[in-house]
Chains A and B, each alone.
Chain A
């Protein structure tokens, strides 16, 4: 069974082509080359697929860091 944390991490790693060691709370939109608008859309799609949810506009826009994302997903009943 894959844990929610693993699913969450995989979405980041696959969308941005980064390693587990790159994942930290401060990881932020536009601070690495692959987390641009294209990478952001990819990440949103991966998360929606993995957790079978549909993110609201404001949540897509405010999903600015690795840490912030866990707070947002909590609103959809997904505990990371």
Chain B
């Protein structure tokens, strides 16, 4: 069991503030949540198709309180990918918006709450769920196969304790949502604030929507988090000129913010008396791995800081030897109770226990300075962050190769470049990858190349690409 079973103590405190339903106390939230979950007999797997709404959160809280295994899936998911997840994991229940549809699977509606419906599968499959397993999260929008990261009760508990400690979260805090709850960073904000009895402001509006800013101002939000793209929007909206006296601190994670933007926000936040936390993490670590204490943000520009409370971080060379001298690059390795159990690729994997034993090789290359602050300098794996989502370049290449194309993928964060040997199909590939991988087309550049450069063994020579 986890902290969701102790939320009753917050009783009349406001748990949620929404656009449509106004303020909802913990007591009311729990009554609704328990009413949804009462329809489920035994511990089983449930899919939640998530939005930042009262209905979605209530289902999540209810299912947590009866100890289910919960897979969180964003409502904007590609239909094919959703069906692949259903086929691969065969959840006994799906809790989703009423307007959504499931084709090809037999479900009956057993309960509905406002705009959400709880569906029960009519053709269930029996399989084992490991006792430690709590949550299943995807690692990116929709690339690759139907893979989940397996998070345990201990993972969630250790993460909320660490976040509450280093961010100093209290019941007086009011975070406003800026990211999907199915995204590990968004979820970590929700979990850690419930843990402390804070009030969550829920909105589906993005930062370019005036409704977001009126929700923030009217409800006096004290904090929000953002991936680098959110900080680019804030810059464009001239955050420095906005009057937002309720904001106490803001956080940044989900990819590296370029040093220029980081320096600008450090200064803006200092002038506005807003604490600015730069953080680093992965879904494989239940969100957070390290953070840069806000008093160091100008002194250690570009750094991802120090490990979160109770975590350990070090660097290893390619032979796996620990690097102890400052300024020498190596793979960043993390150890802590928030390192997840492992991956799942089908429902048989849900029986598995802890495969990582608290140790995570991050795939990021970093250096450590004399004061023990880490800076990421590269990656061992070929992936990009597209607007906060992790995109594996090898997977996209493989995907297009399977479709019969000769191609190579490279680029940088928010700029995926696909080199294609068929000039006439540039536009087609752009819209295909955009739809399939849920990447905004403006972030994809498809370029013609006469021949993909390869070495004798057929490996692509990325350095030879345009």
Q: What is A's interface to B at a CB cutoff of 8 Å?
A: 15, 17, 29-30, 34, 36-42, 44, 57, 60-62
Contacts and interface: CB of A to CB of B under 8 A. Distances in A.
B176 to A, nearest CB: 15
B434 interface: yes
A48 to B, nearest CB: 10
A51 B442 CA distance: 20
B442 A37 contact: no
A12 B26 CA distance: 45
Interface of B: 206-210, 213, 229, 232-233, 236-238, 241-242, 387, 430-431, 434, 440-443
A57 B241 contact: yes
B242 A57 contact: yes
Contacts of B238: 57
Given A17-B434, A41-B233, 7 more contacts: A29-B208, A29-B209, A36-B206, A39-B442, A42-B440, A57-B237, A61-B209
Contacts of A44: 236
Given A17-B431, A36-B440, A60 B207 contact: no
Contact of B440 (A38, A57, A60, A62): A38
Contact of A38 (B209, B210, B237, B442): B442
Contacts of B431: 17
A41 B213 contact: no
A78 to B, nearest CB: 19
Nearest to A39: B440
Contact of A37 (B207, B210, B242, B441): B207
A13 to B, nearest CB: 11
A60 B208 contact: yes
Contacts of B229: 37-38
Chief secondary structure at chain A's binding surface: helix
Contacts of A61: 208-210, 213, 237
Contacts of A40: 208
Nearest to A46: B442
Contacts of A15: 442
Nearest to B207: A37
A29 B207 CA distance: 12
Identify the 6 closest CB pairs spanning chains A and B, nearest first.
A37-B206, A38-B440, A42-B442, A61-B210, A17-B441, A40-B208
A60 B387 CA distance: 20
B137 to A, nearest CB: 22
A37 B208 contact: yes
Contacts of B208: 29, 37, 40-41, 60-61
A38 B443 contact: yes
Given A29-B209, A37-B207, A41-B232, A60 B442 contact: no
A62 B214 CA distance: 13
Nearest to B386: A38
B172 to A, nearest CB: 28
Contacts of A37: 206-209, 229, 233
Given A15-B442, A38-B443, A60 B206 contact: no
Nearest to B431: A17
Contacts of B441: 17, 34
Given A17-B431, A37-B206, A41-B232, A60 B443 contact: no
A56 B93 CA distance: 47
29 contacts: A15-B442, A17-B441, A29-B209, A30-B209, A34-B440, A34-B441, A37-B206, A37-B209, A37-B229, A37-B233, A38-B229, A38-B387, A38-B440, A38-B442, A38-B443, A39-B440, A39-B442, A40-B208, A41-B208, A41-B233, A57-B241, A57-B242, A60-B236, A60-B237, A61-B208, A61-B209, A61-B210, A61-B213, A61-B237
